[in-house]
């Protein structure tokens, strides 16, 4: 059993009966499945962090795991399988002058240059973003702004490059596949967004 302390920012994503993955730091490579058995109704403060106590029941506990060891709990937040996905560097945004709303788009390569295509973004992680509409698998998109686009006041809010540089010029092919797969340098789907929280067993 793990008596965990879940950050208040993550506790709303956790449900009783939900399956979680547990990694014990002291036992390299060990991953144990667990089930959330209880979530405290009231927050407490531990190590100056406000959170909620949670009880996680482990399945098939390895005999090497001992009381007091530190564990990391992976809480599934969202995932997407068999989707079209592109690197975060390929997704750009600007504010619509008509609606005032933020709009996402990609720059798809055409025979005579690049075409701006509005897209709807779904699940994303630190590397890839799911494209729910506006782009087909196999299309080539720019991961940096072409010269013709650099004069526009557009930014890529999903990716931060070293030194504050903006992305702009290289291309990559949009991929489709299972969540988290990466083939030939193309992300085939965003990996599940998950939170790692360190807790004591």
How far is the C-alpha of 18 from the C-alpha of 16, rounded, in Å?
A: 6
Cβ neighbours of residue 4 under 8 Å, at least 6 residues apart? 53, 54, 55, 56, 71, 73, 197, 199, 200
The CATH number that domain 83-187 falls under is: 2.40.420
Handedness of CA 138, 142, 147, 152 (dihedral sign): positive
The model's pTM = 0.48
Query: Coil, strand, or helix at residue 17?
Result: coil
pLDDT at 167 over 50: no
Interval 55-70 mean pLDDT: 85
How far is the C-alpha of 5 from the C-alpha of 12, rounded, in Å?
A: 13
pLDDT band at 123, cuts 50/70/90? Answer: confident
Neighbours of 178 (CB within 10 A): 12
Q: List, by residue range, all CATH 2.40.30.170 domains of the chain.
A: 2-77
pLDDT at 21 over 80: yes
Q: Which residue has the higher pLDDT, 69 or 107?
A: 107
Give the CATH class of 2-77: mainly beta
Q: List, by residue range, all CATH 2.40.420 domains of the chain.
A: 83-187
Q: Which residue has the higher pLDDT, 175 or 140?
A: 140
Q: What pLDDT is attached to residue 38? A: 93
């Amino acid at each position: 059993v793990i008596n965990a302390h879940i950050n208040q920012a993550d506790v709303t994503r956790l449900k009783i009966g939900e399956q979680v993955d547990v990694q014990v730091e002291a036992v390299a490579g060990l991953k144990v499945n667990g089930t959330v058995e209880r979530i405290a109704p009231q927050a407490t403060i531990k190590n100056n962090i406000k959170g909620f106590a949670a009880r996680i029941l482990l399945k098939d506990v390895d005999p090497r795991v001992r009381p007091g060891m530190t564990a990391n709990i992976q809480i599934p937040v969202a995932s997407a399988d068999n989707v079209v996905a592109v690197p975060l560097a390929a997704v750009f945004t600007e504010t619509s002058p008509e609606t005032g709303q933020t709009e996402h788009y990609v720059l798809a390569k055409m025979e005579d240059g690049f075409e701006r295509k509005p897209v709807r973004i779904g699940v994303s992680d630190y590397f890839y973003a799911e494209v729910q509409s506006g782009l087909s698998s196999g299309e080539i998109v720019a991961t940096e702004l072409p010269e013709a686009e650099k004069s526009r006041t557009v930014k890529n809010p999903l990716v931060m490059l070293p030194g504050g540089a903006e992305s702009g010029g290289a291309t990559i092919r949009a991929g489709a596949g299972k969540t988290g797969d990466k083939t030939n340098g193309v992300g085939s789907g965003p990996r599940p967004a998950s939170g790692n929280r360190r807790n004591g067993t």
